[in-house]
A and B are shown apart, each in its own frame.
Chain A
Amino acid sequence: MEHRIDAWLILAVVGILGASLVTQNAVTEVVGTQLLARQLLWACGGMLTLLALSRVRLDLYARLAPLVYIGGLAALVAVLFFGEIRSGTRGWFAVGPLTLQPSEFARVATILMVAAWLGRRSGGGLSAKEAAVVVALVGATAGLVALEPDLGVTLTYLPVAVTALWLGGLPRWAWIGLILLAMIIGFGAWHTVLKDFQKERVLTVLDPERDPYGHGYQVRQSKIAVGSGGVAGQGVGHGSQSLLRYLPAQHTDFAFAVWAEATGFVGATGLLLGYALMLYRIGMAAAVAENRHGLVLAILVGSWLAFQVVINLGMVLGLLPTTGITLPLFSYGGSSLLSTCAALGVVQSVWRHRLVNQ
């Protein structure tokens, strides 16, 4: 028995995609019209993917998950050898005129795999061994992404792991242990792994005027862009921060700042409501899922997307350090858009295959 697709979610996604295209259109002066055309193409492809994947039966996702996951792992390994390098990260396959970023798709594969595994097992909380399996499933793909190295995308695997462990059920002492472990790793990383520019980014959040023309430059320009939007914005295509290129990475990481500068508080609020609606509908899908597999799938997708929205906006608004995490459905990028739509398609499959009496 299949239900109709969730119109509210489609509305939210179409709204966000529309705002995204408006923004990409506004920055064509800066980044060229070619990207707008591609993004339009990706948006259409994304919608088709979403609709197509929503028709796939839920149990098929569980059955195919290992295959998809192994494919994802293989792609991640392959990209380390044959991938293209962009600004120091070897993370892209060239496919004709387009490029694909396997780390984005592998995240969906990981979610499918973890959900399938968690959905099959029954009973109480995770044993230490089972928890290790969850961590290993996420860690394998995330580790390969970290090797590219792509810090931003690696970080987006984190909410998948944490939410999976939470859904699986861990005793309280394990959480305390994990938090302590995270603090130790964080402390250790601060003194060893993190490079100086990454530390500066963190310190800049704590003290924005620390180095306004050095490490604080991007965030400062972003805040100027958002703030100067005022109530109603400067008008699409009229934002001086964007037009005059003071704003960095305006079609990707800082795309929200372009939107906020152009449309002001009204537009920013609207976009935020769009994401809230989308996440709410994902939550609804989880609530009505016919089985544990569907529930886990929806929640993992939702927590991942929520994480990415919060981290990106936190960065654009100068509340969190710069990490290179994009705004899902909004920032330019075909792989990100397609994989997000695919994940939403899977969530729609959950929605459509809910129990009859609900």
Chain B
Amino acid sequence: MVLLLAVFLVFGALHLRIAQLQLLEGSHWRRMAENNRLRRLPLAAVRGRIYDRRGHVLADNLPTWNLLLFPDEARNLGETVLFVASLGVSEASDLHRRVNQRGIDRLAPMVVGENLDWEQVTRIRAHQSDHPELSVVAGFRREYPLGPATAHAVGHLRLVSQEDIDLDPQLDPNSRVGAIGIEALAEDFLSGRPGERWVVVSAVGRQLGVVRESSSSSGKDLAVTLDAELQQIAAEALGERSGAVAAIDPRNGAVRVLYSAPSFDPGLFSGKLSPEDWKRLAEDPRHPLQDRCLQGTYPPGSTIKPFLALAALAEGVVSPDWTVQCTGGVVLYGHRFRCWRRWGHGMVDLSRSLEASCDVYYYQLGQRLGIDRMALWLEIFGLGRRTGIGLPSEAAGLVGNPEWSRRVRGTPWYPGEAVSVSIGQGPVLTTAIQLARAFAVLANGGRLVTPHVVVDPDNPSPVDLALNTNDLAKINRGLELVVHGEHGTARSLARLPVAGKTGTAQVVRLTEGIDSDDLAPHLQHHAWFVGWAPIDDPRLVIALVVEHGGGGGSIAAPTAAAIFSAALDEARESQASQGPGE
């Protein structure tokens, strides 16, 4: 019968199809079945903690729930996106964009929610059978107990970039790495290696068992040289003002404080940074993201004077007994250069020049030294070049000279500029960490240390600058008088065993007849104080700059006082000798 024959022909075709699927393509489909049921889950490696020198936690990990999306398992990604958005863990538009912009790694799981609360977790679990593509996994969220007080120094995290993955294909594209600060500097040490777990998963997303697992290896904990308490005191001392505090141990260069104001909450970067938060940070006119300790370059002002004095003594262009008559100004190259003290200082010797910060003395001293020797010596003290602290994005600053002027600026060098340089103005820019390091040379008897936040045998050892100890002692005596002398510019610190130098960095040049107090706030001078304590056994150098803070003596020195007095607390010091990081 025709009908029966036709039916059998069709049956034959079906049978051929079965043979094709089962016999010819059997192994292919079996592999597909394996892929179906096996799922790779990344196991987050616990990032190492960061401790300060006394064991206070600077960076910690909080356990948290994250939501993973396996895009290949989703039946309808659009619907999944809406479901995830309805949980409030992510924005639909943002999620849509990420889902659509998946790269080569289309099928890799992606983190679509972080830091889920318990209610969100239970809601996902309740809808697990509708959404087998979603998986709640345990993770860690980076936490910074001191928050803004250590934001720039300790740093924060960021999502790995495509470049990071190109360099290290093993990286989980959902993981985070250090973006700035110690987090970035010690990334390899802190990060550990993520593991992976292959689990059998049913179509409704239930994990039925582990097939194989390579455990993650945790990152190592790191003790750094920072002092959490001093960081906080520095943050309090600067308060609402913009500025920077860099403090190092002059004996070895161990960094105790790196605080930049205004600061921000580094924990914002541990999770998904909302566009609003990012906008607020990036567009803040006070630039909280900038690290003023390492990236803020300012004219050093009068804080440059001890180094020029040392240079002049070393070069033999002046003797310690050399004196200058200060009448409140001097005419050089047909231009009158004023002393900050309008009515002058009278007879000024080396010691008095530092104590009272006489500008005219240094105009004359600079004339004798000449710009090339000034520039050379400033660089010997580490000014205008990177300190090698190791933290990312350190600025070099600048020490100008005629050659630089031709090559970089493309204009000839004006002799008057050398006059400005001799009081730390004009084409000379330094960072707070550079000045801290330069003053450490004075405090430790002539050795140039390399600032560092991590104690490492590979850290460069101090370089002896072979300075004349008598010259050094004379300079230091002058710096002691700055605080304790009758004419000192930092007498507000007199109750503390501190030696140092104030500085006032002009933002604009003052013309005759205009007083600095008349300037608009954003044109006000930057105020410096750089000094060390205790005087005879220096253990801490602080370089502090207050942006638009007016005079160094009136603003910067009192601010430094708070930090010095905390640092000098005997009880803390005895404790510190037992702590790590020495």
On A, residues with C-beta under 8 Å from B are 163, 213-214, 217, 221, 223-231, 240-241, 243-247, 260, 264-265, 268-269, 272, 275-276, 279-280, 283, 286-287, 299, 302-303, 306, 309-310, 313-314, 317, 319
Complex: chain B residue closest to A313, CB-CB: B14
Instruction: Output the least CB separation between B351 and chain A (Å).
Output: 83
Given contacts A314-B14, A317-B18, contact A213 B74 (CB under 8 A): yes
Complexed CA–CA distance, A214 and B36 (Å): 15
**Pairwise interchain contact A269-B23, C-beta atoms closer than 8 A:** no
Given contacts A245-B204, A265-B22, A317-B18, contact A228 B32 (CB under 8 A): yes
A224 engages B36 (CB within 8 Å): yes
Interface pair B76/A214, CB less than 8 Å apart: yes
B132 vs chain A, min Cβ distance (A): 9
The answer on a CB contact under 8 Å between A241 and B33 is: yes
Q: A244-B37, A275-B11 are in contact. Are A226 and B18 (CB under 8 A)?
A: yes
Q: Which of A268, A302, A317 contacts B3 (CB 8 A)?
A: A302
List 10 A-B pairs, minimum CB-CB distance, nearest first.
A227-B29, A230-B26, A245-B203, A228-B30, A283-B4, A244-B202, A228-B33, A227-B21, A246-B203, A265-B22
Interface residues of B in 37-72 (CB under 8 A from A): 37, 72
Q: Is the interface of B mostly helix, strand, loop or mixed?
A: helix
Give the residue name and chain of the B residue nearest to A310 (CB).
B10
| B509 is an interface residue with CB less than 8 A from chain A | no
Interface SS majority for chain A: helix
Indicate whether A279 sits within 8 Å of B202 (C-beta atoms), given known contacts A213-B73, A224-B32, A268-B18: no
Question: Contacts A230-B26, A231-B22, A314-B14; is A306 near B7 (CB within 8 Å)?
Answer: yes
A269–B36 touching, CB < 8 Å: no
Closest chain A residue, CB of each to CB of B204:
A245
* CB–CB A272/B30 < 8 A: no
B536 at the interface (CB under 8 A from A): no
| B14-A227 in contact (CB<8A) | no
Centre residue among B21, B23, B34 by max chain A CB count within 10 A: B21
Q: How far is the CA of A280 from the CA of B22 in the complex (A)?
A: 26
Residue among A227, A244, A265 making CB contact with B203, cutoff 8 Å: A244
Chain B residue with Cβ nearest A306: B7
The residues of A that contact B32 with a CB separation of less than 8 Å are 224, 227-228
5 contacts between A and B (CB under 8 A): A221-B36, A228-B32, A229-B22, A246-B37, A283-B1
A231 to B19, CA, bound (A): 9
Indicate which residue in A213, A243, A272 contacts B18 across the interface (CB closer than 8 Å): A272
**Residues in A neighbouring B508, C-beta threshold 8 A:** none
A224 lies within 8 A of B15 (CB): no
The CA-CA distance from A35 to B30 in the complex, in Å, is 28
Complex alpha-carbon distance, A272 and B17, angstroms: 12
Chain A residues within an 8 Å CB radius of B72: 213
The answer on a CB contact under 8 Å between B22 and A244 is: no
Which chain A residues border B17 with CB–CB below 8 Å? Answer: 317, 319
- Interface membership of B8, Cβ < 8 A: yes
Alpha-carbon gap, A319 to B16, bound state (A): 12
CB pair A280–B37 under 8 Å, yes or no, is: no
Do the beta carbons of A280 and B4 come within 8 Å of each other? Answer: yes
- Using Cβ atoms and an 8 Å threshold, which residues of chain A touch B7? 279, 302, 306, 310
Q: A214-B75, A245-B202 are in contact. Are A269 and B11 (CB under 8 A)?
A: no
A272 touches B14 (CB 8 A): yes
- Closest Cβ–Cβ distance, residue B413 to chain A (whole Å): 70
Minimum C-beta distance from B76 to chain A (A):
6
Q: Which range holds the interface residue count of chain B?
A: 35 or more
Alpha-carbon distance A319/B27, docked complex (angstroms): 20
**Residue B272, interface by CB 8 Å:** no
Q: Return chain A residues, CB-CB under 8 Å to B336.
A: none
Inter-subunit contact A230/B15 (CB<8 Å): no
B494 within 8 A of partner (CB):
no
- The answer to whether A317 and B76 have CB atoms under 8 Å apart is no
Contact A240/B33 with A213-B75, A214-B75, A276-B11 known, Cβ cut-off 8 Å = yes
- The answer to whether B483 has its CB under 8 Å from any CB of chain A is no
Residues of A with C-beta under 8 A to B204:
245
Collect the chain B residues with CB atoms within 8 Å of residue A283's CB: 1, 3-4
Q: Produce 1/0 per residue, B72-88, CB < 8 A to A.
A: 11111000000000000
Q: Which residue of A214, A217, A223, A279 is within 8 Å of B4 (Cβ)?
A: A279
- Please state if A265 and B29 are interface contacts (CB–CB under 8 Å): no
Q: Is A223 a contact partner of B37 (Cβ separation < 8 A)?
A: no
Q: Which residue of A lies closest to B17 (CB)?
A: A317
B127 on the interface (CB 8 Å rule)? Answer: no
On whether A240 and B3 interact (CB within 8 A), knowing A223-B21, A269-B18, A272-B15, the answer reads: no
Q: In the complex, how many angstroms separate the beta carbon of A306 from the nearest chain B beta carbon?
A: 4
User: A210–B7 Cα gap in the complex (Å)?
Assistant: 30
Determine the chain A residues whose CB is within 8 A of the CB of B4 once the complex forms: 279-280, 283, 302
Q: A227-B26, A245-B203, A286-B1 are in contact. Are A240 and B21 (CB under 8 A)?
A: no
What residues of B have a CB within 8 angstroms of the CB of A244 in the complex? 36-37, 200-203, 208
CB-CB under 8 A from A228, the residues of chain B are 26, 29-30, 32-33
Question: Would B26 and A241 count as touching, CB distance under 8 A?
Answer: no
Q: Is B236 an interface residue, CB under 8 A from the partner?
A: no
Partner of A240 from the list B14, B36, B76 (CB cut-off 8 Å) is B36
Name the A residues within 8 Å of B37 (CB-CB).
240, 244, 246
Given contacts A226-B21, A241-B36, A272-B18, contact A303 B3 (CB under 8 A): yes
B74 / chain A contacts, CB cutoff of 8 Å: 213
Residues of chain A lying within 8 A (CB to CB) of residue B29: 223-224, 226-228
State in angstroms the CA–CA spacing of A241 and B4 once bound together. 34
CA distance A280 to B6 in the complex (A): 12
What would 8 more interface pairs be, CB under 8 Å, given A214-B75, A302-B4, A317-B17? A227-B29, A228-B29, A231-B22, A246-B203, A264-B22, A265-B18, A272-B14, A272-B18
Residue of B nearest to A283 (CB): B4
Contact B22 A260 (CB under 8 A): yes
Q: How far is the CB of A29 from chain B (nearest CB, A)?
A: 10
When the two chains form their complex, are residues B26 and A229 in contact, meaning their CB atoms are under 8 A apart?
yes
- Check B203 against A231 for contact (C-beta < 8 Å): no
Q: Using known A-B contacts A213-B72, A313-B14, determine if residue A226 contacts B22 with beta carbons closer than 8 Å.
A: yes
- Nearest-neighbor residue (CB-CB) of B28 within chain A: A227
In the assembled complex, the Cα of A273 lies from the Cα of B408 at a distance in Å of: 91
B372 CB-CB contact with A under 8 Å = no
Q: Write out the residue numbers on chain A whose beta carbons fall within 8 Å of the beta carbon of B34.
A: 240
> Which residues from chain B contact A241 at a C-beta distance below 8 Å?
33, 36
Q: Does B25 contact A (CB under 8 A)?
A: yes
The complex places the Cα of A223 from the Cα of B4 at a distance, in Å, of 28
How near does chain B come to A191, taking the closest CB pair, in angstroms?
24
With CB as the reference atom, state the residue of chain A lying closest to B27: A230
In the complex formed, the residue of A with least CB distance to B129 is: A245
Closest partner residue, chain A, to B200 (CB atom): A244
Chain A residues within an 8 Å CB radius of B75 = 213-214, 217
Please, which residues of chain B bring their CB within 8 A of the CB of A286?
1
